[in-house]
Structure 1
Amino acid sequence: MTTPQHGSRHGVLQHAASASPLIAVSADVCELYKYLWHAAPQQYLEAALAGAGVFPLVVPSLGDRLDFDQLFAAVDGVMITGSGSNVHPSLYGGDASEANGPYDTARDSTTLPLIRKAIDHGVPLLAICRGLQEMNVALGGTLATEIQERPGTLDHRAPPSDSRDERFAICQTLMVKPGSYLSGVLGAVEIRVNSLHRQAVDRLGTQLEVVAVADDGIVEAVSVRDAPGFAVGVQWHPEYWVKSDEPSARIFRAFGDAVRARASTRIGLMRAAE
């Protein structure tokens, strides 16, 4: 006879198997209406839903007050979003300045350990723009700031415009490392992307390999070496054109497939333990 407890657990497993898997999404901390808000831009959440087919769960930036083991018992992927803020330079041996800001230290205190935990647990990870920079710093790397001021470096900032479509316009060519995980996802070694950043990878973090570069050599994508699954950081913004641009769509589809594969494995292990 099935006990109520067992029946309840079985029902949870059935629901988990049929529902879209959950992913953790990073949150910016900002002040609005005289309150502090923990929020993520809508374009990332829509890309998660429509492009990856997963359920985005925004995780508050509360640092070490969060139990990441508890979080990873519920989610099967992590997406670290872009942001208007920069990683605080004290985290990689740099100097903070007003010109390099703004900063969001509450986000830093949450995303860096979250990234490391995801990699350690083999949880699918997609890090975008600031997220790639956090990924690099989390693994011991450093960042180059205000790269548009460096001789020989292109201006990778968004074009000045009030139109979001113009700001996120696809405008530069990247070379993708042949044979890399990312080239397999994209099915190409050359793609066109947008560009909206003023920082970039300087010294590469341990465990990372460069898998795409811009014409001026700026690192545009990294992946975790020997990762068991999807663990990719991109400097551009595939979330913006996920519904109309094939390379953008491929990235989110691959991320979603990896999340579903982990969810299936985790549910299978839970069933085996019944």
Structure 2
Amino acid sequence: MKPVVAIICDTTHSGPHMYHQVGDKYIVALRRCADVTPILIPALSTDPIGADDIMKIADGILYTGGYSNIQRSRYGDAEAPSGEHEDPLRDANTLSTLPDLLQSGFPMLGICRGLQEMNVALGGTLYPRVHEIDGRFDHREDKNAPVDVQYGPAHSVSVVKDGILGAIVGEEDFMVNTVHGQAIKDLAPGLQVEAFADDTTIEAVSCPEAPGFNLAVQWHPEWRAWENEQSSKIFRAFGDAVHAHNKAKSA
């Protein structure tokens, strides 16, 4: 079997029942561009699947984007207005596993909400609505536009020199899509900025002191990753790290 990448699920309700789910686009990008087998980890409310168990059954982890926002109490902000879409179960499962997996050297890729989770799990804070901050872009998608437009190129990012992202893509700037409302405010201790948007929003981070591959980006490289050079390189680099981890674990 190919090396395995774990994905902690979102939770949602359909009728009276709760479901654990992951977007198809992440699963397909992992299969096509990272050459791995994805498995879904339920976001359990009791007896959750912890970091040690994830490391036993997988060789890397992907923290995906999602439609929910991280609970503001997780980073010391006031309670969100009524009706804001939150997923407390996902928060509880992702934020608790991330530090241990990161420090163990477990290969890790974060996308959109996954970048925000990395920052919050390590002690950073977020802007709950970055578009309300003076001088910042509106980084949200137009929900009335076709999905190809929603996930199409929207703004450029400037890559920080001598970082992991620059080594992967080999470019100083390139265009990305943008589909998010939250963004990093205070960078967590130990994290390093890998890219900025022109409005100074942090677009990518890594933890250089952690022993394994780790990278988180604010945009959505999983969207048709095989059609985009930078996205393909990001997933391929993650896949290479997962394969190497699997080989070392099996030796």
Aligned to 1:245: 228
SS in 1 for 2:200: coil
Q: CA deviation at 1:99?
A: 6.4
Residues 62-113 of structure 1 show CA distances to partners (whole Å, capped at 9, x for unaligned) of: 1561243122112110000101101101111001223682110000000011
- Measure, in 2, the Cα distance between the counterparts of 1:71 and 1:101: 30
Aligned to 1:14: none
Taking a change above 3 Å as real, the CA distance of residues 102 and 252 of structure 1, as seen in their structure-2 partners, is same
Aligned to 1:233: 216
Does residue 92 of structure 1 match 2:62? no
- Measure, in 2, the Cα distance between the counterparts of 1:181 and 1:167: 27
TM-score by length of 2: 0.96
Between stretches 232-241 and 222-231, larger displacement belongs to 222-231
- Measure, in 2, the Cα distance between the counterparts of 1:52 and 1:42: 15
Taking a change above 3 Å as real, the CA distance of residues 195 and 217 of structure 1, as seen in their structure-2 partners, is same
- Measure, in 2, the Cα distance between the counterparts of 1:197 and 1:238: 13
Q: Which of 178, 183, 191 lines up with 1:208 in the alignment?
A: 191
SS in 2 for 1:243: helix
Taking a change above 3 Å as real, the CA distance of residues 75 and 162 of structure 1, as seen in their structure-2 partners, is same
- Measure, in 1, the Cα distance between the counterparts of 2:83 and 2:14: 22
- Measure, in 1, the Cα distance between the counterparts of 2:215 and 2:209: 12
SS in 2 for 1:23: strand
Is residue 22–residue 55 contact of structure 1 (8 Å, CA) maintained in 2?
yes
Taking a change above 3 Å as real, the CA distance of residues 64 and 23 of structure 1, as seen in their structure-2 partners, is farther
SS in 1 for 2:152: coil
Q: CA deviation at 1:160?
A: 3.7
Q: Which of 93, 96, 113 lines up with 1:110 in the alignment?
A: 93
Aligned to 1:132: 115
Does residue 55 of structure 1 match 2:49? no
Does residue 46 of structure 1 match 2:28? yes
Letter in 2 for 1:108: D
Please show how residues 176-187 of structure 1 align to structure 2 within 5 Å: 176-187=159-170
- Measure, in 1, the Cα distance between the counterparts of 2:133 and 2:33: 36
Rg comparison, structure with higher value: 1
Does residue 166 of structure 1 match 2:138? no
Is residue 129–residue 181 contact of structure 2 (8 Å, CA) maintained in 1?
yes
Gapped regions of structure 2 (runs ≥ 5): none
Is residue 48–residue 56 contact of structure 1 (8 Å, CA) maintained in 2?
yes
Number of residue pairs matched?
250
- Measure, in 2, the Cα distance between the counterparts of 1:67 and 1:207: 23
Aligned to 2:243: 260
SS in 2 for 1:73: helix
Please tell me the root mean square deviation across aligned C-alpha atoms, in Å: 1.3
Q: CA deviation at 1:229?
A: 2.6
Taking a change above 3 Å as real, the CA distance of residues 100 and 168 of structure 1, as seen in their structure-2 partners, is farther
- Measure, in 1, the Cα distance between the counterparts of 2:5 and 2:126: 27
SS in 1 for 2:131: helix
TM-score by length of 1: 0.88
Is residue 103–residue 210 contact of structure 2 (8 Å, CA) maintained in 1?
no
Q: Which of 153, 156, 176 lines up with 2:139 in the alignment?
A: 156
- Measure, in 1, the Cα distance between the counterparts of 2:97 and 2:186: 21
Is residue 100–residue 146 contact of structure 1 (8 Å, CA) maintained in 2?
no
SS in 2 for 1:182: helix
- Measure, in 2, the Cα distance between the counterparts of 1:90 and 1:53: 37
- Measure, in 2, the Cα distance between the counterparts of 1:61 and 1:229: 24
Is residue 72–residue 128 contact of structure 2 (8 Å, CA) maintained in 1?
no
- Runs of 4+ displaced beyond 4 Å: none
